[in-house]
Amino acid sequence: MVSNYELENIPTKIYNTLLPLFEKNLQDSEYEIIWQESIGTYQSPNRANNLRFTYYENGFLVAPRTISDSWNVDLMLSSFGRKGEMKFESIEDLFIGEQRNRNRAAFQTFLYAKVFMSQAGMEKARIMPGVYLIRDIYNQDFNYQFRMGPARKQFLVPEYSAFDEVFTIHLQALLADLYDPEIPFQQTSEAEICKNCPYKGICNR
């Protein structure tokens, strides 16, 4: 026989049981990319910053999750990179200019992370360098994080701060070479790169 006290506390018991499960489900689904049948494309939430990402074939839309704000940001791609640009062997490899398979996307992303981390108050920010490749976003094994290391020993790149020191050393060396008047300017030997370069007129390529 169930007492009146037990009947009165059944909702509380259910609440206390389900709340942790509900919170864990929300945590697990944070940033998860899910197909939304109603709009015919993928979306992912960012509840911590009250954002929702909507993905399209040529870009994505960022907008507030709640209707209290009315702003949005669109990013559309004008070109697609080559396959394999989600992996590289070492930070040093990102700075080897004439290496044909140098990961330019990784270098650019790490540079953005460096600039962001250099802003006041961002010194301890958890910055995750990565790229959402639109051509791969519908794949089952999709991952926005870069992979680093030799072919059979690659690991997912954690937050940028773990590589800031070594990246900064190589970046300073690169800038020093660029501004050294004793080092003559050398055109790249890869003429293919120059085809879409907005500055090719300066080099007469």
Kindly state whether residues 11 and 71 are assigned to the same domain. yes
The mean pLDDT value for 65-93 works out to 64
Kindly state whether residues 199 and 99 are assigned to the same domain. yes
In a domain, 82, yes or no: no
Kindly state whether residues 70 and 102 are assigned to the same domain. no
Kindly state whether residues 15 and 112 are assigned to the same domain. no
Res. 90: pLDDT tops 70: yes
How does residue 113 score in pLDDT terms, banded at 50, 70 and 90?
confident
Kindly state whether residues 98 and 10 are assigned to the same domain. no
How many separate domains does the chain show?
Answer: 2
31 — alpha (psi -120 to 50), left (phi > 0) or beta?
A: left
Range of 39's domain?
4-76
How does residue 28 score in pLDDT terms, banded at 50, 70 and 90?
low
In a domain, 68, yes or no: yes
Least confident of 35-44, 108-117, 123-132: 123-132
Kindly state whether residues 52 and 103 are assigned to the same domain. no
Whole-angstrom distance between the N-terminal and C-terminal Cα of the chain? 90
Kindly state whether residues 64 and 101 are assigned to the same domain. no
In a domain, 119, yes or no: yes
Kindly state whether residues 53 and 101 are assigned to the same domain. no
pLDDT digits (tens, 9 = 90+) for 126-162: 888 888 777 777 778 888 888 888 888 888 888 888 8
How does residue 14 score in pLDDT terms, banded at 50, 70 and 90?
low
pLDDT at 196: 77
Q: What is the 3-state secondary structure (H, E, C) of the chain?
A: CCCHHHHHHHHHHHHHHHHHHHHHHHHHHCCCCEEECCCCEEEEEEHHHCEEEEEECCEEEEEECCCCCCCCEEEECCCCCCCCCCEECCCHHHHCCCCCCCCHHHHHHHHHHHHHHCCCCCCCCCCCCECCCHHHCCCCCCCCECEECCCCCCEECCCHHHHHHHHHHHHHHHHHHHCCCCCCCCCCCCHHHHCCCCCHHHHCC
Kindly state whether residues 10 and 105 are assigned to the same domain. no
- Global pTM value: 0.57
In a domain, 105, yes or no: yes
In a domain, 63, yes or no: yes
In a domain, 125, yes or no: yes
In a domain, 99, yes or no: yes
